[in-house]
Amino acid sequence: MSRPLRKDYRTADFEQLSRMIRDHPLMKEPGAEQQQLHKLRTPEYRTKCVMRASLDDIALGINLYKLQLDTPMSPTLEEPNYLKEPASSARSAHSARPPATPFIKVLLRKTPIVVLFERRSMTALADTEEGRQVMEDNRKYDELLSGTDKTRRTVDADTQTMTALMKSRLVNTERLTTAQMGSYVSNFEMYDTYTDLEKSTTSVQVQGAKKMEITTYHVGGVDQFVGINCLPGFRLALMLTMRILASNVFEPQQRRYRNMAPPDPLAEDVKFKYRLGLLWRLSPPSSDPKVHQAVSDMSFCPSNGDIMAVAYGVYSHGKVSKLPRSGWVYVWNIKNPVNPERRYHYQVPVVTVEFSPTQPQLLAIGLHNGGVEVRDISGQDLPPLAVSQRLSSPYFEPVTAIKWIYFEGDVGCRNPHITPFLATSQAGAVTKYRLINSPNMLGLEQQRLQRAEGELEGIPIERQPPAASLLANRHPQCLEIVLDPVQSDIYYVLTDEGTLYKCSTNYPLQHLELRQVHDGPAACMEFSPWSPRMYLTCGSDWCIRIWLAGILLPIVTLQHHLSPVHCARWSRTHSTILVSLSRSTVDIWDLRNSTMKPVSSTVIDADIFYTTFKFTHCGRSLAVGSEAGNLLMLSFEDMPFPPHFQYKQLKRAIFKALSMQPDLRKQVKSVGYFGYPGGTKQTRA
């Protein structure tokens, strides 16, 4: 049974609340200042009654108001005077409608943050005096709370705090204190000091004609900088510092080399100008222009396209009266185009260099005296890993080209992943070198070419019979060696007679095919990245010829300048574009447009002759060497967008070039499909 609710329940609380409302400052007459503020308020805000109260006060007021609306339970209770109403009006209102629940609009506002307790955490280094004091305070605090009844109650809770990035105190240095002190020196001491400074100050060439003076101090007559420079840690730190400094100057060029901003195919102002832009220029080993330091060869690292090795030696013997006694191999990194990161000096000119495709840190070097070396560039100042010996390679002619090969079942090397390599020389010999457990390499004569006689396949030429059979002129000079992109045992050798020898590592001391490709020395040969049966050759007869396996004659012949073509290579991004290098120009050919002249010819240094060039791994830049020792890094600008179907575009361009030669067009059509399986691009290094 419920207890009857009395009317005087919590009446005192309600009276107290009513008194608080009457005594509130808002219920009093406003002053002059408040009236002025009241005029500035909006009309909607003026009609509202604003009262600061808590939620408990509001809930208490609502409950008390409901109690006053209920029917009186006892006639003895007296209502307050301010709640009494006339009986007639009350009865009429009660009979008209029931009392409604009052509506109160509550506006919640954010109150200021009240900090009840705050204790910031503090950390200190353990090996400092401050850290030792903190550890002592923590130990005393644990001893005070080690009793049974003194254990501090702790609660673990997760919270989300803002990350405050603060500077470590380790980067702060001690404040420097200065003081003025007097000292007496004689004229003799001043003279000795300045004389020592002149002896220890040297001028170092930084870049080109720029020089920087460096002063080192001698302690006990010994230059301390020489010993510091020999430390491996200091040299590594110096190399990284030079990379950072070089990036401040060459950052836009490095971003272009990495293709970080490719051209937009949806741009409205697209123009195809086939232009070459200069990114940077790598300086030669010596600043003396009389020193013969031509760029004879270069090679990009297979695993890291930022690293490239450059050989400096002799390229053209026309202006060389005496063979120079110096040669260099520099290993450059695009992160530092100012200074090379590895330097190797030789007493003879260096002719060729080549990285290993399976072990990228190994670099094979061919010298002018017929010697071959293999170096490990992963460490500084390391001795050669292996060198050739005269017992197995008795030739003294220059080594012209080196190619690493993959020979299955090769045993005897110190590492099964290190494959042998082939080296050609001007003595007409092809030698296969293998690394064994010895400081000397094992050399085996793979081929000894003989001069061609009679009429050969290929282009017809008039071959003059030799006046006399000389032992020194019995063998042709090997100028280039190229590996077959599909068959790992097949390789091709170009000679100074303009002949092409097809050989195999499985059949030593004999060649498989012989073809006449040029009427003069053949300098370069390369297979198309989209066809294992199509290749180009260039030579001293001013021509670039494109050949197709199975056809005896060249299908396309390109000729523009009346000068020898030193090098020609297929583009890595466009199947119909190839680049050729003559004495003074870099030409870009597009078979889709024309086979009569190149679409663009670029001259960077008109007074310096070019020697050779190579594409980067991405194919959007190329490195061009000169006889002055400069290496120019060029980038392709305003080039057409690569076609989606590269092989179809190449085939269409070839048939367009053969539109005036129906017989040759029929032979090419009879060959059928001459691309890679699936129309993919060559991925073999």
pLDDT at 331: 95
* 234: amino acid identity, one letter: F
Taking each helix axis from N to C end, the angle separating 662-671 and 646-657, rounded to the nearest 10 degrees, works out to 150
**Angle at CA 443, nearest 5°, toward 442 and 446?**
140
25-34, 324-333, 375-384: the lowest-pLDDT one: 25-34
- What tokens appear for 73 in the block? 């339970």
Q: How confident is the model at residue 75 (pLDDT cuts 50, 70, 90)?
A: very low
Ranking 102-106, 349-353, 493-497 by mean pLDDT, the lowest is 102-106
Distance CA 449, CA 428 (A): 5
Report the distance separating Cα 615 and Cα 567, nearest Å: 12
- Per the listing, tokens 């909607």 go with 44
Q: Enter the DSSP assignment of 484.
A: -
Q: Which residue has the higher pLDDT, 665 or 53?
A: 665
Q: Is 337 exposed, middle or buried (0-12, 13-18, 19+ CB in 10 A)?
A: buried
The pLDDT of 526-552, averaged and rounded, is: 94
* pLDDT at res. 395: 84
CB under 8 Å, gap of 24 or more: what pairs does 50-59 form? 50/26, 51/21, 51/24, 51/26, 55/106, 57/17, 58/104, 58/106
Whether pLDDT at 409 is above 50: no
SS3 of 108, please? coil
Supply 524's token pair: 């370069």
Mean pLDDT, rounded, for 351-361: 93
pLDDT value at 9 more than 60: no
User: Going along 388-530, which residue ranges are E strands?
Assistant: 399-404, 421-425, 429-434, 442-448, 457-458, 478-483, 490-495, 499-504, 507-516, 522-528
Check residue 352 and give its pLDDT. 95
Contact between residue 330 and residue 310 where contact means Cβ atoms under 8 Å apart: yes
Q: Is the dihedral of CA 70, 75, 80, 86 positive or negative?
A: positive
Tens digit of each residue's pLDDT (9 = 90 or more) over 290-310: 788 899 999 999 999 999 999
Tokens 């024309």 found at: 594
For the chain, what percent of residues have pLDDT higher than 70? Answer: 75
- Across 630-655, b (16+ Cβ under 10 Å) vs e yields bbbbbbbeebbeebeebbebbbbbbe
Across the range 251-261, mean pLDDT stands at: 89
- Helices 55-69/11-22 angle, 10° precision: 120
Which residue is listed with tokens 């282009």? 459
User: Which range (170-179, 365-374, 463-472) has the least confidence?
Assistant: 463-472
Q: What type of residue is 434? A: R
pLDDT greater than 70 at residue 86: no
Compare 678 and 591 and report the one with higher pLDDT: 591
Mean pLDDT of 419-440: 91
pLDDT score at 37: 60
Give the number of other CB atoms < 10 A from CB of residue 285.
18
Q: Which amino acid is at 669?
A: K
Residue 80 scores a pLDDT above 50? no
Q: Which of 300, 308, 364, 260 lies closest to 617 in space, CA to CA?
A: 300
641-680 pLDDT per residue, tens? 999 899 999 999 999 999 999 999 999 999 999 998 876 7
Higher pLDDT, 280 or 22: 280
Section 353-380 average pLDDT:
92
Contact 535, 525 (CB under 8 A): yes
So what's the pLDDT on residue 14? 73
Q: Average pLDDT of 221-235?
A: 77
pLDDT reported for residue 685? 43
Q: Dihedral through CA 452, CA 454, CA 458, CA 464, nearest 10?
A: 80
For the cut 90, the answer to whether the pLDDT of residue 231 exceeds it is no
Residues 6+ apart with CB under 8 A from 15: 80
DSSP secondary structure of 539-565: ETTS-EEEEETT-SS-SEEE--SSS--
| CA gap 338, 281 in Å, rounded | 9
457-458 and 507-516: which strand pairing?
parallel
H/E element holding 21? helix 11-22
Mean pLDDT of all residues belonging to the chain: 81
Q: Give all domains of the chain, ordered by start, each with its CATH number.
A: 273-458+474-671 (2.130.10.10)
Show contacts of 109-112: CB within 8 Å, 24+ apart: none
Lowest mean pLDDT, pick from 48-52, 182-186, 235-239, 258-262: 48-52
Q: Considering the chain, what percentage of its residues have pLDDT values greater than 90?
A: 40
Highest mean pLDDT among 140-149, 468-477, 598-607: 598-607
How does DSSP classify residue 27? G
What's residue 79's pLDDT?
46
**60 confidence band (pLDDT: 50, 70, 90):** confident
- The mean pLDDT value for 186-201 works out to 78
Distance CA 309, CA 377 (A): 10
Long-range Cβ contact pairs of 259-262 (< 8 A, separation 24 or more): 259/618, 259/620
Tokens 């009392």 label which residue? 99
83: DSSP letter? G
Q: Choose among 623, 627, 659, 652: nearest CA to 279.
A: 623
**Which has the minimum average pLDDT: 201-215, 399-413, 464-478, 608-622?**
201-215
The answer to whether the beta carbons of residues 351 and 296 sit under 8 Å apart is yes
Regarding predicted confidence, which is higher, 611 or 291? 611
Q: Which residues pair with 548 in a beta bridge?
A: 534
Q: Which of 635, 626, 636, 634 is nearest to 283 (CA)?
A: 626
Q: By the 8 A CB rule, do 667 and 655 touch?
A: no
User: Of 547, 553, 546, whose CA–CA distance to 580 is shortest?
Assistant: 546
627 forms beta bridges with: none
Higher pLDDT, 186 or 110: 186
Please tell me the predicted confidence (pLDDT) of residue 413. Answer: 47
C-alpha–C-alpha distance, residues 598 and 582, integer Å: 12
Q: What is the mean pLDDT of residues 195-205?
A: 69
Average pLDDT of 598-608? 88
Lowest mean pLDDT across 236-245, 317-326, 337-346: 317-326
- The DSSP-derived string for 162-210 is -------GGG--PPP----------HHHHHHHHHHHHHHEEEEEEETTE
Q: Kindly report, residue by residue over 622-649, the tens digit of the pLDDT.
A: 999 999 899 999 999 989 999 989 999 9
C-alpha distance across the termini of the chain, in Å: 98
Q: How many residues does the chain have?
A: 685
Cβ atoms of 610 and 624 closer than 8 Å:
yes
Report pLDDT for 94: 47
